[in-house]
Amino acid sequence: MTPTPVGMRCPECARERTKVKTLRSRPTTPLVTQVLIAINVIAFIAETASGAPLGGGGGGSVFNHGYLYGPDITQSHEYWRLVTAGFMHDGLLHILFNMVFLFFMGQILEPAIGRLNFAAVYLASLLAGSFGALLFQPDVPTVGASGACFGILGALIVVARERRISIWQSGLGLILLINLVFSLSVKGISVGGHLGGLVGGAIAGALIIQLDERRRLPAAALMGCLLVAVVSVAGAIAVAGSTGLTPNGIGFGG
C-alpha cells in the first residue's frame, strides 16, 4: 500500500490520475440561489406596484395573471401559470418566509451538487409542486415558492443520506417534520403543492446522485431532472379540470 493525500492506496491506484470531484472543486458562492431570490423579489415588487396589498389577499394585474388556477389552464390554455405561480407571493410575510428558507437551504445544497444541477432541481420541484397543487385542489388559486423550497429540502435530504450525514443530527429531519406539521395544520396552505415539490425534489436529487456523482453522467442527470419536469407539466395539465369556475380562496406554496 502507498500513502497518498487521500489515504492508503494500492500502487496501481496511486499511479492513476483520476479526477476527483470534491466540494472544494465546485463554486462555493450560491449564485443560482441568489438569482432565484432576486427574481422572486422583483416579481413581488411588480405585484405590489400593480395593486397587490402587502398584507396579502391577492389582487393586481401581475398577481391575477400569474397565480395557478386549474380552469385558466384547461379553458384558457394559460400554461405559463404552472411556472409563474412559483414566483408569486400573497403578502410580505409569505415571500419573507419562503426566501429565508430558500437562502439557508440553497447555500447548503447548491455548492454540494453544483449550480446547474441545483437549477435543474429547483425547476423540477417547482413544476412538481404545481402538479401537486392542481392534483389536490384544482379550483383553488395557488401561489408561492414553497413547493420549490420543499423540493430543495427533499433533494438535500437525499444528498445528505448519500454522504452518510444523519438527517436528525444535522437538523434536516426536524425541519422537514416541522414544515409538514405546519402544512397540515395551518389553514390556506397548499398541502398538494408542498408534497408535490418535496417528492419532485427528492427524485431529482436521487437522479443526480445516481447518474452524476456515481456514474459520472452529468448530462443524463440533467435529462432525468428535465423528465421529472415534463412529467409534472403533463400531469398538471391532466388534472387541471376544475369542479367550479369561481376562485375559492388562495393556497400558499403551490
- How far apart, in whole angstroms, are the C-alpha atoms of residue 140 and residue 129? 14
Arithmetic mean of pLDDT, 21-39: 81
pLDDT of residue 243: 54
Q: CA nearest 152: which of 185, 134, 125?
A: 125
**In this structure, is residue 14 part of a structural domain?**
no
For the chain, what percentages of helix, strand and coil (3-state, to nearest 5) are there? 65, 5, 30
Q: Residue range 84-109: average pLDDT?
A: 97
**Domain assignment present for 110:** yes
Which residue from 149, 146, 151, 138 is spatially nearest to 189, judged by alpha carbons?
146
- C-alpha–C-alpha distance, residues 58 and 68, integer Å: 12
pLDDT of residue 16: 55
Measured on CA atoms in the order 182, 124, 80, 35, is the torsion positive or negative?
A: positive
Residue 25 included in any domain: no
| The total number of residues written for the chain in this structure | 254
Structural domain includes residue 20: no
Question: Considering the entire predicted model, what is its pTM?
Answer: 0.86
Tell me which amino acid residue 125 is.
S
Does residue 2 lie within any of the structural domains?
no
CA distance 40 to 73: 22
Q: Which residues, listed in sequence order, are joined to residue 8 by a DSSP beta bridge?
A: 3
Q: Which domain holds residue 45?
A: 30-243
Has residue 10 got a pLDDT over 70? no
Structural domain contains residue 5: no
Q: Supply the CATH number for residue 142's domain.
A: 1.20.1540.10
Q: How many domains does the chain have?
A: 1
Q: Classify each residue of 135-166 as buried b or exposed e, where b means 16 or more C-beta atoms within 10 Å of its C-beta.
A: bbbbbbbbbbbbbbbbbbbbbbbbbbeeeeee
pLDDT of residue 22: 47
Task: Return the pLDDT at 201.
Answer: 98
pLDDT of residue 250: 58
118, 164 Cβ separation under 8 angstroms? no
For residue 23, tell me if it sits in a domain: no
| Residue 16 forms part of a structural domain | no
Average pLDDT, integer, range 83-96: 96
Closest to 193 in 3D by CA, of 139, 244, 130, 238: 130
